[in-house]
Amino acid sequence: MGLRESENIRVIVRVRPLDERELRRGEDENISCVRANTVQVAEQNGKGKGQKSVAYQFDRCFGPECTQELLFEECGVLPLLDHVLEGYSSTIFAYGPTGSGKTYTITGTGSVDRILRNGSGDVSDGIVIRSVEALFSKVASRSPLTSSMTCVEIYNESVLDLFKSRDKQHLPVKFDTMRGCFFVQDLSYGKCASEEEILKLYMKALKNRSVAGHELNRDSSRSHALLTLYVDSMEKQEDGIVTRHGKISFVDLAGSERLEYSKSEGSTLKETGAINKSIFTLGKVISSLCDRKRTKVPYRDSKLTQLLMDSLGGTSLTIMLACISPSNTNLSESVRTLEYASRAKNIKNKPVVLLDQQQSMVKELQKEIEALRAENRAL
Ligand code: ADP
Ligand code: MG
């Protein structure tokens, strides 16, 4: 590809809607998408001091009103799928604190059983389900597509096979000197020839993930889940059939919240450190890929980046989806997420809009008027 690598990495932000609990508590939305590529954060400067607004720019931003369908169509995953069908690798990962919408974005909210019963087609279907559907419909007119998949969970820097419900051994990660990349030893590959087969296997893996988490008495928000789809597509050409071997990884990262927020102690403390090691290294890998004065890309420093080594950088296309809550109570985590996302692409964000005291007061008064009107209507 003739593109610079930084152009092969898209950084997207998705701000989820306030949830029921946040609405009940009357929490304010302090973060909004003011343009297709700009997120604005309104920070309170302290009582009577007005508000400071900071604008962050990314490749694309999606606000609370964005549906799963719109996100899928506009976040840039479709070109990634074309790239995979051409025989290249791609990665899409969701980053953000627990509760920010990573799993919703990657998988969707439908329960595993509902998807197993009714298949795809729900409005809440996430990127994986929609991508599988799109892959098959893209090739339907051309030629058959065969695929296989792996599903792993990385927990505390060790790798678990999500296709094995009983065998919860941690699998070793080895380096393949011939191919120049890492692989998980003894990992199961699920063969799948149709959209339904892929979904079934994926749901089975998700079920195993929650069972494993339950049995080992831990929370799945502390682990990274990685689904890799190997796609072999064939195309008839004048001089014979050309087979292309592409691959795409979908990564639902562990919550990015900081240690002091998780009130961790003892073993949990170490665990959070290891989780952050993978996330921290992923950030370093992305930013060194985007750096024109390229230094050595630190793929080897964490299990996650070892496994993604051949799908990040080079000819791969990558989407980083930063998920955040709009609520003022999550403000510091959200700002940290936006800063991680900006740093990843070396995007220099500066405060650009400053709301003065008068403007803040007008905003406050408008809110009060709205509340009084609502009270009036209720009488
Ligand atoms: P995470 O995986 O980051 O911990 P989840 O994806 O589980 O967070 O989201 C937390 C909650 O918010 C879930 O109940 C989910 O259904 C809901 N949610 C997240 N994003 C959205 C969205 N864009 N629209 C509607 N509901 C959402
Ligand atoms: Mg989740």
Q: What is the pLDDT of residue 67?
A: 96
pLDDT score of 43 more than 90: no
Dihedral in degrees, nearest 10, Cα atoms 302, 229, 222, 154: -40
Confidence class of residue 234 from pLDDT cuts 50, 70 and 90? Answer: confident
- State yes or no: 103 annotated in a binding site: yes
Neighbour-count burial for 204-220, b at 16+ CB within 10 Å, e otherwise: bbbebbeebbeeeeeeb
- Cβ–Cβ < 8 Å for 41, 58: no
- Cβ–Cβ < 8 Å for 246, 89: yes
Q: Give the DSSP H/E element, type plus range, for residue 153.
A: strand 145-155
Distance set, CA 377 to CA 222, 364, 370, 372, 374 (Å): 46, 20, 11, 9, 5
Task: Evaluate if pTM is beyond 0.90.
Answer: no
* Distance of alpha carbon 60 from alpha carbon 346, whole angstroms: 15
- Cβ–Cβ < 8 Å for 278, 301: no
Q: Looking at ligand 1, which atom is closest to the CA of residue 68?
A: 23
* Distance of alpha carbon 110 from alpha carbon 87, whole angstroms: 31
Q: What percent of the chain has pLDDT over 90?
A: 45
Distance set, CA 255 to CA 43, 94, 107, 177 (Å): 23, 10, 16, 33
- The pair of structure tokens assigned to 181 is 């990349």
Confidence class of residue 174 from pLDDT cuts 50, 70 and 90? Answer: very high
Q: What is the pLDDT of residue 156?
A: 85
What three-state secondary structure class fits 320? strand
Q: Could you say which DSSP state residue 238 is in?
A: T
Find which of 50-59, 138-147, 210-219, 285-294 is predicted with most confidence, using mean pLDDT.
50-59
User: pLDDT tens, 336-345?
Assistant: 999 989 887 7
Ligand 1 centroid from CA 80, angstroms: 24
pLDDT score of 377 more than 50: yes
What three-state secondary structure class fits 202? helix
CA-based angle 362:366:372, to the nearest 5?
A: 145
Q: Which ligand is nearest to the CA of 224?
A: 2
Looking at the chain, the number of H-run helices and the number of E-run strands are: 11, 15
pLDDT score of 271 more than 70: no
For the chain, the structural domain boundaries read 7-359
Confidence class of residue 351 from pLDDT cuts 50, 70 and 90? Answer: very low
Q: What is the pLDDT of residue 81?
A: 93
Q: Give the DSSP H/E element, type plus range, for residue 228.
A: strand 224-237
- State yes or no: 46 annotated in a binding site: no
- State yes or no: 98 annotated in a binding site: yes
Span of 28-37, 72-81, 142-151 with lowest mean pLDDT: 142-151
Span of 142-146, 188-192, 255-259, 323-327 with lowest mean pLDDT: 142-146
The class that CATH gives domain 7-359 is: alpha beta
Span of 14-18, 130-134, 142-146, 310-314 with lowest mean pLDDT: 142-146
Mean pLDDT, range 2-8, rounded to an integer? 57
* Distance of alpha carbon 360 from alpha carbon 358, whole angstroms: 5
pLDDT score of 15 more than 70: yes
Q: What is the pLDDT of residue 198?
A: 92
As for ligand 1, residues whose beta carbon falls within 6 Å of it are: 16-17, 19, 96, 98-104, 109, 221, 323
Ligand 2 centroid from CA 102, angstroms: 5
Q: What is the pLDDT of residue 96?
A: 95
pLDDT score of 310 more than 90: no
pLDDT score of 356 more than 60: no
Mean pLDDT, range 185-199, rounded to an integer? 92
DSSP string, 61-97: EE-TT--HHHHHHHTTHHHHHHHHHTT-EEEEEEE-S
- Cβ–Cβ < 8 Å for 69, 62: no
CA-based angle 253:258:263, to the nearest 5?
A: 115
Ligand 1 centroid from CA 104, angstroms: 5
* Distance of alpha carbon 160 from alpha carbon 167, whole angstroms: 9
- Cβ–Cβ < 8 Å for 226, 154: yes
Neighbours of 15 (CB within 10 A): 25
